[in-house]
Amino acid sequence: MEPLSQSDFQKKFVLYSGIITLIFLLVFGTTALFKGAIFHGTILLIILVVVLISLSLMIIKDNISIGEITLSFIGILLMSYLTVTGGCCDGTGILWAYPIIVIILLLKGFLFGLMSSLIYLAVVLFVFFGDQTFVYQYETSFKVRFLSTFFLLAGMAFIYEYLRSTSHRNALIINEKLNLTSRLDPLTELLNRRAAVTEFEREFSIYQRHGNVFSIIILDLDNFKQINDTYGHATGDQALIEVAKQLTSHTRSEDIVVRWGGEEFVIILPGTDLQQAAIKAKNIKQQLSSINYQKLGVSDPITASFGVQSINNSTDVDDLFVQADKKLYEAKKRGRNQVVS
């Protein structure tokens, strides 16, 4: 069984909380009516109808916010009502504040839960210490015990929710960093081959839907094995980093530069036809040829061969790569440091 995502978990929690709320409202509402507490029972059944409608809308519209907001605000109103009236049974209705405040906290999080608690505490303080004419008369000992236990329960619940939400945010940040790391080449910090596949699928999908053409450039550094053998792999790595910097600095922000593997790079050019891509490749070739590698201790020139292909001249993404790779091979055959489009 696959673990639930955060959103799926929240949806199920809201739904099940709503169902349990409906059951309790139905039981206590009908019980109050049978006991002759007509007003109290009617209020509970009206709330039941509101909860039922909100859950139905949440399911129909697939909008979890409807259920969360409705249950939370009804929880605040229900707590306040039961506190003011005492419920139907000797002032015990106020005790429902214990589970309801925890449910609100779980539904809407720390800040909304804190605001709800402060609003409810204002109601409690008014009932306990304000004008006693229109509210239920609670004993002094009960007031002290209720406030003490409510503060204890709410405090522990808020500490738990704060630590949980903080931990969740940290986990999201770590996950985002890991996801970013998994998409980047550790040496050049360009996108890696795995991430590029997703970008290709996205561009091809846009091309299929809207006809927005795109092209790719495959470039391979010429005789790079000789650089590694002559100057060492550490120097070769520094040369690759320098090439990556040049590629990113001479492409547009919307272009996608990828280290495809070894000394091979791929550039995805959205909104670019074959002729425009060929011009871009020639400019990049010129820039790479003019790099001063002597600062890295490399006296030999580092050049690259280029294969350029457009999607509107290919049948699909696989064919796009095959054709671009063939042109790269042709550039190598022509003596390297060439662009073939």
**Contacts from 19-28 at CB under 8 Å and sequence distance 24+?**
19/55, 21/51, 21/71, 21/74, 22/48, 22/51, 22/52, 22/55, 25/51
Cα(12)–Cα(18) distance, integer angstroms: 10
Domain boundaries of the chain, sorted by first residue? 6-179, 193-340
Give residue 216's pLDDT: 92
263 is catalytic: yes
Burial-class residue 124 by CB neighbours within 10 Å (0-12, 13-18, 19+): buried
Cα(159)–Cα(6) distance, integer angstroms: 20
pLDDT tens digits for 251-276? Answer: 888 998 999 888 999 999 999 999 99
Q: Is the pLDDT of residue 1 over 60?
A: no
Q: Is the pLDDT of residue 160 over 70?
A: yes
- Residues 150-171, mean pLDDT to the nearest whole number: 84
Half-sphere exposure of 13 (CA within 13 A, CB side): 15
Give residue 294's pLDDT: 79
Catalytic residue among 68, 203, 242, 263: 263
Q: Could you give the dihedral angle defined by the CA atoms of residues 127, 128, 134 and 139, in that order, rounded to the nearest 10 degrees?
A: 140
Closest by Cα among 77, 98, 96, 93 to 138: 93
Q: Is the pLDDT of residue 176 over 80?
A: no
SS3 sequence of 255-310: CEEEEEECCEEEEEEECCCHHHHHHHHHHHHHHHHCCCHHHHCCCCCCCEEEEEEE
DSSP state of 339: E
Indicate the average pLDDT of the chain.
Answer: 87
Give residue 195's pLDDT: 83
Q: How confident is the model at residue 3 (pLDDT cuts 50, 70, 90)?
A: low
Q: How far is CA 62 from CA 7, 79, 168, 222, 236, in A?
A: 12, 28, 24, 56, 55
- The topology under which CATH files domain 193-340 is Alpha-Beta Plaits (3.30.70)
Helix, strand, coil share (%) of the chain residues, nearest 5: 70, 10, 20
pLDDT tens digits for 32-86? Answer: 898 888 998 899 999 999 999 999 999 998 888 888 888 889 989 988 998 888 8
The H or E element spanning position 68 is helix 64-85
Residue 278 tokens, joined: 């060929």
Q: How far is CA 210 from CA 46, 154, 204, in A?
A: 51, 54, 10
Residue with tokens 């010129």: 286
Q: Taking the model in full, what pTM does it have?
A: 0.56
Cα angle 281, 286, 287 (rounded to 5 degrees) comes to: 95
Closest by Cα among 51, 60, 46, 61 to 14: 51
